[in-house]
Amino acid sequence: MIFVETSICEVFLVGDEDGWNSGINFVNWSQNHNFTKGDFLVFNYLNNEHNVYEVIEETYRSCDASNGVLDEYDSGNDKIELKEARNYWFICNVAGHCLGGMRFGIEVKEANSSIHIPLNPLQSPPPKPSHASNCGRYPMWTSFICILAFKILSH
């Protein structure tokens, strides 16, 4: 398999099959993935129980969203494109949830243009259900199919 990294995106389902919920260690989750500019995060949750705030680091640390809020999402199925190579910080702003662990920060890196050729493709791990590739360069409906595909895979 040969692919050019700049032409793909990955879609990360936050919390994997558990989704964006209480009782999950999202710092652990975030540390198990590498994020590249152009990738997407998908937050799945019941929209009357949680929400997603993109905040500055200080707000992430304090869990006090009275300031430092960059964006708010509450659809229950929020797909957020990581458009810039920088740090992103996310919290749930339902009372107590951020302090209870519904928060994480990620470092989004610039895409590099190197071509990857796995030395032994037969031993490559199978694709994980939490991400799908080849979405970024195609129209939105293709991204939707990507999401659909990994939703089906993760059930």
Q: Quick one: tokens of 7?
A: 């032409």
Sign of CA dihedral 74, 75, 76, 79: negative
Nearer of residues 36 and 51 to Cu ion, judged by Cβ: 51
Judged by CB under 5 A, the residue of 65, 94, 105, 133 near Cu ion is: 94
Instruction: Verify binding: residue 65, Cu ion, rule CB under 5 A.
Output: no
Q: How far, in Å, are 50, 54, 83, 95, 136 from residue 72 at the CA level? A: 11, 6, 16, 15, 23
Nearer of residues 74 and 81 to Cu ion, judged by Cβ: 74
Judged by CB under 5 A, the residue of 9, 41, 91, 92 near Cu ion is: 92
The pattern of x and - marking residues 19 through 58 that bind Cu ion according to CB under 5 A reads -------------------------------x--------
Contact 42, 146 (CB under 8 A): no
Contact 98, 18 (CB under 8 A): no
Q: Which of residues 99-118 bind Cu ion (CB under 5 A)?
A: 102
- Site of interaction with Cu ion (CB under 5 A): 50, 92, 94, 97, 102
